[in-house]
Amino acid sequence: MIVRPYEAHIAFRFLRKGRGQTALLLGGIAVGVAVQFFLSSLIGGLQLSLVERTVGSAPHIFVLPPDNLPSSVLAEDGRNVDSRRVPYSTYPEILSWQGYVDFLRGLPEITAVSPVAGGQGSIERGGAIETVAVKGLSPEDGGKVYNLDRNLEAGRASLTGDEALVGRSIADKLRLEPGDRFFIRNSKGGGDTFMVAGVVDLGSVQANAQVFLSLDRARSFLGLRGVTAIEVKVLDVFGAEALARRLGGEFSRVRIESWQARNQELLTALRSQSSSSGVIQFFVLFAISLGIASVLGIAAVQKSRQLGILKAMGVDNRGAARIFLIQGLALGLGGSLAGIGLGYAISAAFLRFFGTGTFGLQLNAFNLITPAVLAIVGAAAASVIPARSASRLSPIEVIRNG
Amino acid sequence: MAEIIAVRDLVKRFGDVVQTEVLHGLTVSFERGALTAVIGPSGSGKTTLLNIVSLLESPTAGELVIDGRDFSAGDINAYADYRNAHLGFIFQFHYLLPEFTALENVLIPHWIGRGRPPASFVGKALDIMTEMDIRRIRDKYPNQISGGEQQRVAIARALVNEPRIVFADEPTGNLDRETGFAVLEIMTRMIRQLGTTLVVVTHDREIALRADRILELVDGRICKSFRTTDVGEKGARALLEDRDCLVDDLSVSALKGGAGGGR
């Protein structure tokens, strides 16, 4: 749209001389943009917080051995096979795990890869027995996958020799502190003694019911020849599903799962939250657009005399229409800028007075620009109706009717 | 004098289902640089004729040529640029834009046609305002000035682009007689100075008598057409008093210098 100087000159003068009306419109748009900005920042922050709690200190992709499928209890000759001879404590394993680890570490999307030896055990301490998940991590990347340094509550995040890191739940139940020694029994009846190097809080009861050991000690403790999983952390948390699918296409002898596949309910909740937020924001924008269309529509009627004489003096239909489109755009732009400021102020005040520390606002350019762009587009669209009526106005009708 | 507007067999009908014909095949021309007054009773079609020749309304049929260019067909929106560059308008009501000061109103035609006016153009606008004794109100808004001043601003606005033709529809109709004549005096003086053609529609015979030529319409047809310079003021008054229409322009020559209404 090429704007001729007189169109902007007249449009801005109309806005300036109708100060009260202009201020009300700008206020309406500003409040709408501020509400949109605040809502999307709040919901975005809440979602980020939920995702961070769910997967921030957990793997994003799991490379797992194929499931053990039940085999026939009938031998080829039709006799029953003695099912009691099936080993009672086998874990499915990835034997050639080193090759997978090397491959995965070469991918740019991946930030940490840790082979894991996982299984069950029970800690016996002072007459108390607590069943725990035992997890052996690689010394290179294991700490990164679980953010052990960040989540360390007491002691050191060290996994060398007989050192172990225990989750907060286990430490509380068994009154374990850094430096304490404890005995873990494995599922085969054997066991080993370890020393608490540190206590970690991974954010959930389930995650805190784990004992982390070094990979080698865990493999030996669980009697593994390979590893039970390879755990992967990626740069883009929400891109994990796509990467898992891609890797699944490349590797046929292992299963690949993403965190999304394991947290379908959370994802559904997040999606529902986003949808409801989108609906609210749409109606806020719709209400603003209706307001602008209504006020500019009335203005077009009020200004019909001026438009008529302008047309007589040489303003063509397009020019008359643009006078109103420019007003709509200017209102959208001005209101959006004010709305961004107002939204930022509301967000800052919210964080200051109501911030619980459990989650923050997602104050980013997208949340800032999207409502502003939508408001500008909405305001411009709203001005189309008065622009059309201005365009169709006959100068002679105005002159004839006074 | 050469003609600047030529109209031939002009027909104008209004209405879609029930049509009313206001102009019935009118043929007339307007002379370049002359002041032509169009008079006639209400409903005679004089304002319709003015609207058509000023490109504000399309004719139903007939030919319209302005300064050699054919405007017989087409949407009036397509002639917006021509109106801005070559035509000026003065209406019964001033129709000034209330959002703009007097000077800004005078500058509006330049804004529309050529963008922001340069200092030289603003100076020219101020000169016209000085001539019309309205320079002192240059920064006042229309609601802050008198009716006579408002109309003088409207006249300055019509003249500022130095149009080829100025169309005025009852330019003093909204003013008291004294103010009206003062405004008319200024308007005719300025238009003669600029050598512009003026077509003025009026009910007022005293105003019409100041024109070079008078055109009287009755029921959408030309009733009388004569040059005041040919018949003199006395003759013109007599012709205007006469209720019968003249056969055509040629009969005017027979009346030259006469006082009666010849037929």
- The tens digit of pLDDT for each residue in B150-172 reads 999 999 999 999 999 999 998 88
Partners of residue A16 in chain B, C-beta under 8 Å: 99
Closest CA to A7 of B97, B116, B154, B87: B116
Interface membership of A6 toward B (CB under 8 Å): yes
Interface membership of A3 toward B (CB under 8 Å): no
C-alpha span between B215 and B209 (Å, rounded): 11
In a domain, B177, yes or no: yes
Which residues, in sequence order, are CB contacts of A148 under 8 Å at separation 6+?
Answer: A142, A157, A165, A198, A200, A212
Whether B98 sits inside 8 A of A316 (CB atoms) is no
pLDDT at A270: 80
- Return the amino acid letter for A391: S
Closest CA to A395 of A329, A314, A278, A330: A314
Partners of residue B113 in chain A, C-beta under 8 Å: 314
Interface of B with A (CB under 8 A): 47, 51, 56-57, 77, 80-81, 83-85, 89, 91, 93, 95, 97-100, 108-109, 111-113, 115-116, 157, 169
Exposure string (b/e) for A282-317, b if CB count within 10 Å is 16 or more? eebbeebbebbbebbbebbeebbbbbbbbbbbbbbb
In a domain, B180, yes or no: yes
pLDDT at A322: 92
| Residue A124 contacts residue A101 (beta carbons within 8 Å) | no
In a domain, B233, yes or no: no
Chain A interface mutation, best of B52, B53, B56, B58, highest count of A Cβ atoms under 10 Å: B56
Shortest distance between the Cα of B51 and any Cα of chain A, in A, equals: 8
Whether B99 sits inside 8 A of A313 (CB atoms) is no
In a domain, B244, yes or no: no
Find the Cα–Cα–Cα–Cα dihedral B135, B138, B140, B141, rounded to 10°.
120
In a domain, B250, yes or no: no
ipTM of the complex: 0.86
pLDDT at B51: 93
Which 3-state string (H, E, C) describes A242-298?
HHHHHHHHHCCCCEEEEHHHHCHHHHHHHHHHHHHHHHHHHHHHHHHHHHHHHHHHH
Domain tally, chain B:
1
Interface membership of A395 toward B (CB under 8 Å): yes
pLDDT at B158: 94
pLDDT at A356: 61
Range of the domain at B28: 3-219
User: Could you say which of B80, B99, B115 has the minimum Cβ distance to residue A316?
Assistant: B80
| Residue A341 contacts residue A372 (beta carbons within 8 Å) | no
In chain A, which residue's Cα lies nearest the Cα of B169? A399
In chain B, which residue's Cα lies nearest the Cα of A315? B80
C-alpha span between A211 and A287 (Å, rounded): 55
In chain B, which residue's Cα lies nearest the Cα of A4? B115
Whether A311 sits inside 8 A of B80 (CB atoms) is yes
Whether A16 sits inside 8 A of B99 (CB atoms) is yes
In chain B, which residue's Cα lies nearest the Cα of A306? B97
Shortest distance between the Cα of B94 and any Cα of chain A, in A, equals: 10
pLDDT in tens, chain B (263 residues): 689 999 999 999 998 888 899 999 999 999 999 999 999 998 899 999 999 999 999 999 999 999 999 999 878 888 999 999 999 999 888 889 999 999 999 999 999 999 999 999 999 999 999 988 999 999 999 999 999 999 999 999 999 999 999 999 988 888 888 888 888 888 898 888 888 999 999 988 888 999 999 999 999 999 999 999 888 889 999 888 887 777 555 444 444 444 333 33
- Return the amino acid letter for A205: V
CATH number at residue B156: 3.40.50.300
User: Could you say which of B57, B112, B116 has the minimum Cβ distance to residue A396?
Assistant: B57
In a domain, B238, yes or no: no
C-alpha span between B83 and A51 (Å, rounded): 66
CA angle A238, A239, A241 (to 5 degrees): 95
The DSSP output letter for B90 is E
pTM (2 d.p.)? 0.70
User: Could you say which of A306, A312, A400 has the minimum Cβ distance to residue B97?
Assistant: A306
Whether A4 sits inside 8 A of B115 (CB atoms) is yes
Partners of residue B169 in chain A, C-beta under 8 Å: 399
Interface membership of A20 toward B (CB under 8 Å): no
In a domain, B119, yes or no: yes
In a domain, B98, yes or no: yes
CA angle B152, B153, B154 (to 5 degrees): 90
Q: How far is CA A154 from the centre of its chain?
A: 30
Partners of residue A309 in chain B, C-beta under 8 Å: 89, 91, 95, 97
Closest CA to B31 of B66, B82, B73, B58: B66
Q: What is the mean pLDDT of each run of 10 residues along chain A (402 residues)?
A: 88 90 88 85 79 78 78 69 53 83 88 89 83 85 82 85 88 88 84 88 84 89 87 87 88 86 82 82 78 75 83 92 90 90 86 69 76 82 83 82 66
User: Could you say which of B100, B113, B169 has the minimum Cβ distance to residue A314?
Assistant: B113
